[in-house]
Chain A
Amino acid sequence: QKEVEQNSGPLSVPEGAIASLNCTYSDRGSQSFFWYRQYSGKSPELIMFIYSNGDKEDGRFTAQLNKASQYVSLLIRDSQPSDSATYLCAVPPRGGGNKLTFGTGTQLKVEL
């Protein structure tokens, strides 16, 4: 089982809808989770992170953690065409160490 798994997509949603992106992780002890947005040909941009103590909302973005099922979700409300990108989930190792293990990303397409 991979440490971090994401459905590669593409996930297509109409403009104004809620986009829901999921990421499953294998280490039950993981305590922090990071979401990056990557436009085609560009580098990843950190957009959201949460810790195991709760969900987080930032503008149109909400990150939710389901510890029992070991997945973390990123919800994008009022999706815009500019949200079309690949969304990468990343998890650091439990305990010490700071390297991030990334999933392969989910491609999101917001259609007019």
Chain B
Amino acid sequence: DTGVSQNPRHKITKRGQNVTFRCDPISEHNRLYWYRQTLGQGPEFLTYFQNEAQLEKSRLLSDRFSAERPKGSFSTLEIQRTEQGDSAMYLCASSPQRAPREQYFGPGTRLTVT
């Protein structure tokens, strides 16, 4: 049973550029979550999917952020017109249907906006 995988692991981009991250959940998990974590803070919820449906989005998720999970398997998180304040670790987690709150995290994508 492989864990949650995320790509890329690191991304350095210039302010104003668009970036896209990918998350592959644990295969039998139908729920997928995106969180963001900055230094010294706990992860902050961004959005979550049940299968392909995006069921909840945080107010933190401005209109520059969009997430998709088109076939209910992998998910992408896109940030348009990046700002320095977007620099953070972007974490993906997944959970099984039987225990939706037991969330297992991937290794994260560290974004640095210069």
Contact = CB atoms under 8 A, between A and B. Distances in A.
Interface in B25-49: 31, 33, 40-45, 48
Interface residues of B, number: 23
Contacts of B58: 99
A42 B80 CA distance: 26
Contacts of B95: 98
B105 A44 contact: yes
Contact of B101 (A4, A43, A45, A92): A92
Contact of B40 (A92, A98, A99, A104): A104
A49 interface: yes
B104 interface: yes
A55 to B, nearest CB: 18
Interface string A90-106: 10100001111111110
Nearest to B103: A100
Contacts of B107: 42-43
A72 interface: no
A100 B91 contact: no
B91 A43 contact: yes
Given A32-B101, A43-B105, A44-B91, A99 B56 contact: yes
7 contacts: A43-B105, A46-B105, A98-B95, A99-B45, A99-B56, A100-B45, A101-B45
